[in-house]
Amino acid sequence: MQLTLHGTRACNLRCSYCYYQHFPVGRMTQEHALAAASLALDRCPQEPLAVTWFGGEPLLCKELIRTSTPKIRAMAEQRGQAATFKIPTNGHLLDAEFLAFCEVNSVFISLSIDGAEGNNRGRINRRGQAAWAPSLAALRLLAKHATSFATYSVVTPDNVGQLASGIRFLHAEGARLLILALDHDSPWNESHLDQLAGQYQELAEFWSDEMRAGRPFYLSPFDAKIEAHTRPSGSCSAGINQLSVAPDGTLFPCVQFLDHPEFAIGHVQDGLDDALVRSRFGQVHSDHSGSCGGCAIRGRCGRDCACVRFQSTEDIHALSALVCAHERLLMPIADRAAAALFQDRVPHFIQRHYNPAYHPLHAIETLLGLR
């Protein structure tokens, strides 16, 4: 069960591509956080609980995170369920003390940073000024002190031309788990996608070379698409085993919908309204064909994600032409790289994508300081 707790929707940045339009300052109470965790644990008693402290900027609620995280973990352990914790943050409020708390409590940090300074033009503060220096400081703090962390970069038409150099920059600074997300809401055109294809191709070569050299790193466009082939996973689970909880305790099926009260599906005090989930999302969960019938890459496409549909078309049922074009562009690049690595039996590729024990063994080595 994926549980996203929006400690607050307030934010110290005003990124140009943010899907939120409103940043109310209200904070979640610990009672609501614990009630939400209890609800999630009850709903999926067989599964681990994956908690994400989200925002706005979640580090505006450091105290809530500090006090609630151990309590939620204890609740889960009492029920025989594992709990993991993650914080996506812009890093401006990240300091050594809070990072130490995260290390002690196994809270994973994902830093929002779009690459080098030139990639981050869309990341501005509330006065409209560039917000680069604190992001870089957070990156360097994480690279120096965190056992493991991720970077989360948004690719826009404005920064797509520097995508590969931006990723190389993050890699050079120590990032080894790099997540990319397309800004589906921006006005992309054919020229932008041509640039994106070139940048992906350059990155595929970099990613493959590092893999062959025994220095693998995770780059989501490739690793996620390859994994979708080697180990197919389910489609959208919004509202089923994925819940987002607003600061006031209102339940939503996923993070994208908090600005849209019509998508609310309950409240932590009253529980989840299954009838609302059915009426709002039932068709999304069961719609696996549509106009994509016969498409050879349909099973690996991001088309089923209600959030992506909503962000790109403002309709959770409408397929996105941009998503389709992007998938057609990305899939051959990722598969060409993967096929060559498989053909040559490159050890790190084989282990990462065919060994179910890869992640636990990798984690053991990371904890033992062997990586």
Partner 1 sequence: MTFSIQPVDRHTPGYPRFAEVEDWQGLLQCSSRKVFCPRTLWFAGLLGTALLLPTAVHAAPLHSQNPKALQIAEAELTQAMTGGYWAKAATLDKQLLIPGNPQVTVPKIPISFGNSYTGLIDANRTKKVTRELFAAFGVDLLPDHPLSHKGISFTADGWDPNKRVGFELLETPTDTTDVTTQEFERMKREIAADQMTIFVVPHSTFPVMDNDAEPATQAYLQSVLDYLDWLKAQGRL
Nearer to partner 1, 50 or 203 (CB): 50
Query: What sections of the chain are H helices per DSSP?
Result: 30-43, 62-78, 96-104, 132-145, 163-172, 190-212, 220-230, 274-286, 306-313, 321-343, 347-354, 358-367
Specify the DSSP class assigned to residue 8.
B
Helices 190-212 + 220-230 axis angle, to 10: 80
**129 near partner 1, judged by CB under 8 A:** no
CB of 354 to partner 1, least distance (A): 6
CA distance 365 to 272: 40
CB of 223 to partner 1, least distance (A): 11
Nearer to partner 1, 126 or 359 (CB): 359
Is residue 222 within 8 Å of residue 207, measured between CB atoms? yes
CB of 245 to partner 1, least distance (A): 18
**80 near partner 1, judged by CB under 8 A:** no
Q: Which long-range contacts (CB under 8 A, 24 or more apart) does 100-109 make?
A: 100/145, 101/66, 102/146, 103/145, 103/146, 103/147, 105/69, 105/70, 105/73, 107/53, 107/65, 107/69, 108/84, 108/148, 108/149, 108/150, 109/142, 109/146, 109/149, 109/150
**220 near partner 1, judged by CB under 8 A:** no
Kindly identify the residues of this chain, within the stretch 139-198, that bind partner 1 according to CB under 8 A. Answer: 187-190
Kindly identify the residues of this chain, within the stretch 40-79, that bind partner 1 according to CB under 8 A. Answer: 44, 46-48, 50
Structural tokens at position 336: 């060409």
Interacting residue with partner 1 among 272, 306, 316, 333 (CB under 8 A): 272
Query: What is the C-alpha radius of gyration for the chain, rounded to an integer number of angstroms?
Result: 20
Taking CB under 8 A as the binding criterion, the range among 17-25, 86-94, 126-134, 288-296 that sits at the site for partner 1 is 288-296
Kindly identify the residues of this chain, within the stretch 234-263, that bind partner 1 according to CB under 8 A. Answer: 234, 239-241
Taking CB under 8 A as the binding criterion, the range among 4-12, 162-170, 202-210, 342-350 that sits at the site for partner 1 is 342-350
CB of 315 to partner 1, least distance (A): 14
Taking CB under 8 A as the binding criterion, the range among 23-31, 113-121, 130-138, 354-362 that sits at the site for partner 1 is 354-362
CB of 252 to partner 1, least distance (A): 15
**128 near partner 1, judged by CB under 8 A:** no
Helices 321-343 + 220-230 axis angle, to 10: 80
Taking CB under 8 A as the binding criterion, the range among 3-11, 99-107, 162-170, 343-351 that sits at the site for partner 1 is 343-351
